[in-house]
Chain A
Amino acid sequence: MHEVDMTKCLVLSMQEWRQQHDPVTPQVQTVHLQVGTFTCVEPDQLVTTWRAAVRGSWLDGAELAIETVPLVGRCVLCNGTYSPDPQQAYRSPCCNQPMEEIVSGRELRIRSVDYRLPEPASPSATTAPQAPLATAAAV
């Protein structure tokens, strides 16, 4: 059950993200992940372990939305992309070449986070600032 450790690390990674918003704590609704099929992660298990891991924490109630990214290889001879098949030893069907280059399928990525910032504390303030709508730049 290495998804437990994966989840712990994901929570730590989310904590790093949260620090950008210090001192307020964002209320996270959804964490969008991209998980490649050529990784060690089982998406269903990740969702289960995530729910257990975030219970009672600042991420309580946040859902994981996982987009599965299929394995795609690029043929070294003709440069075409293909779906490597373990039954065919991952070789390219076009030119029968070994799987040199992986185009996608190795993703373990936090693609984006949907969240709200809490309402400003002072309801009587005249210039209650709107929550910023800025989007953090992609890394």
Chain B
Amino acid sequence: MHMPLEDTLGLNLLAANQHQAEHNREHFDAWQLLCLNVMSSPGAGKTSLLERSLAALATDLQMAVLEGDMTTQLDAERLEAVGVPVVPITTGRACHLDAAMVSGGLKLLKQRLDPASLDLLWVENVGNLVCPAEFEVGEHRKVALLSVTEGDDKPLKYPVMFREAHCVLITKTDLLPYLPVDIARIEAHIRAVNPRCAVIRVSASSGEGLAAWHGWVRDQQAAVCGPFARATSPTLVTA
């Protein structure tokens, strides 16, 4: 009779994904580009914002987009129209991007350009406030969008997403005059789950806040890729 063995692991449940995410990040660091993972519930305005931001930042940053649209290539087509290379990632029925899917997207991207020529790689995640927060894809920073039409309780209902974000964008602020919503309450609820992240009010329609948002993006790009950036890639996993 064998006694059962017990291995103490202390391994992340998502270790397999974490390892692939670390691998992706090593590539990003070798290419000296900033990778931003853009997440929100469906329709919060990720693609609309990207259209504006790509157009504004293209003057001095080389960019590409990995587009995790769930069923159609519509979003990818909208962004290509701006003149930035877009690789649609087929997610099947998955409700989030994982690191392996992004790795697949990188292979397609490499067929079109040399990633080392890029300064910034955007990943538009699948519209979902839940699991994208737990599946790293190798990004340097997480950006979460919350539109003013979604109500002020979302940060408390989906706290993990807003806790993990480095920057939360409150979108569609041009609609505020027509809505019975208090933006100060939205901000307070974001702060409640994440006192440290940047919180920026933006509107892709009116252009409000875009300068501040693009300032944040440039700061991150400089911090990750600039002359004073850390030379070696930090490891992603601590657990």
Contact = CB atoms under 8 A, between A and B. Distances in A.
Interface in A58-82: none
Interface string A114-133: 11110100000000000111
Q: Which of B7, B15, B133, B239 has the most CB of A within 10 A?
A: B7
How many A residues are at the interface, by size bracket? 35 or more
Contacts of B9: 17, 109-113, 136, 138-139
Kindly list the 8 A-B residue pairs having the minimum CB-CB distance in the complex, ordered from nearest: A12-B16, A89-B192, A2-B131, A13-B15, A98-B195, A108-B13, A136-B7, A110-B11
Interface of A: 2, 5-6, 9-10, 12-13, 15-17, 26, 29, 33, 35, 38-41, 86, 89-91, 98-100, 102, 107-117, 119, 131-133, 135-139
Contacts of B13: 6, 9-10, 13, 33, 35, 41, 108-110
A137 B15 contact: no
B100 to A, nearest CB: 9
A100 B196 contact: yes
B142 interface: no
Nearest to A116: B2
Given A98-B195, A131-B5, A39 B134 contact: yes
A98 B159 CA distance: 14
Contacts, number: 135
Interface in B1-54: 2-17, 19
A109 B160 contact: no
Contacts of A116: 2, 4-5
Q: Which of A40, A98, A115 has the most CB of B within 10 A?
A: A40
